[in-house]
Amino acid sequence: MRIKLGVNIDHVATQREARKGVDPDPVLAARACWEAGADMIVCHLRRDRRHVQDDDVLRLRKQSKLPLHLEMSSSVEMVKLALKLKPQSVCLVPERSGELTTEGGLAVSDGDKVLRKAIADLKKAGIEVSLFVEPTADAVRAAKKLDADTVELCTTAYATASIPAKVKAELEALQLAVYLAKEMGLNVHAGHALDYHNARPVAEIPGVETLNIGFAIISRAMFVGLKTAVAEMKKTITS
């Protein structure tokens, strides 16, 4: 199976919001990503609207040639917006006020009524639903019981490990979580803190279908351009 690359363009909007102007435009960034070989555009519409705005999502949905994967919380407000904007897929993620970035996977349980309703409402509208979870058996099983279509496994612990033994242990945890998810009939994505140096081992795990990567690509783009940065990442995870 050819692994796919989802490119998160949040930090294009972060730069724009620094001046509250119109440039750089996330829609133009999405087009450049598509031309460079990206398979999906990813963006996180946060409750505080620190980077991506509602209009960005609307324009990405209407103008981009790539499938749009919307990251968001499971709040009533966000679910209503997603039902209105209708991205091809949604990833429900945890959010904490003041966090610099998403700090880990959802604390999922099959008794979570808020998550269950959000998933049901989104799926009823024909939107594929993913849950951003830690690579543990309990999290994967809960995602299945909540009727998610996909799990996106949080790779932060793996990507930030500095001791070889810890890197190996975290990679093995990802491998086991992927195996379990596939046994349960779930689609599998992975992402967070992945870069040009550590993404390949995750891409090589049998059953991982998509890697969602943003910060590393946008950072690299400052020096080589966005199309080159995307193409380099695509080569990193597929060759």
Amino acid at 85: L
What DSSP line would sit under 11-67, residue for residue?
HHHHHHHTTTSS-S-HHHHHHHHHHTT-SEEEEE--TT-SS--HHHHHHHHHH-SSP
Q: Of 159, 161, 182, 158, which is closest to residue 172 (Cα–Cα)?
A: 158
Q: Which residues pair with 71 in a beta bridge?
A: 44, 91
The DSSP output letter for 140 is H
Q: Which residues are catalytic?
A: 44, 71, 192
In a 3-state reduction of DSSP, which class is residue 104?
A: coil
CA distance 60 to 155: 26
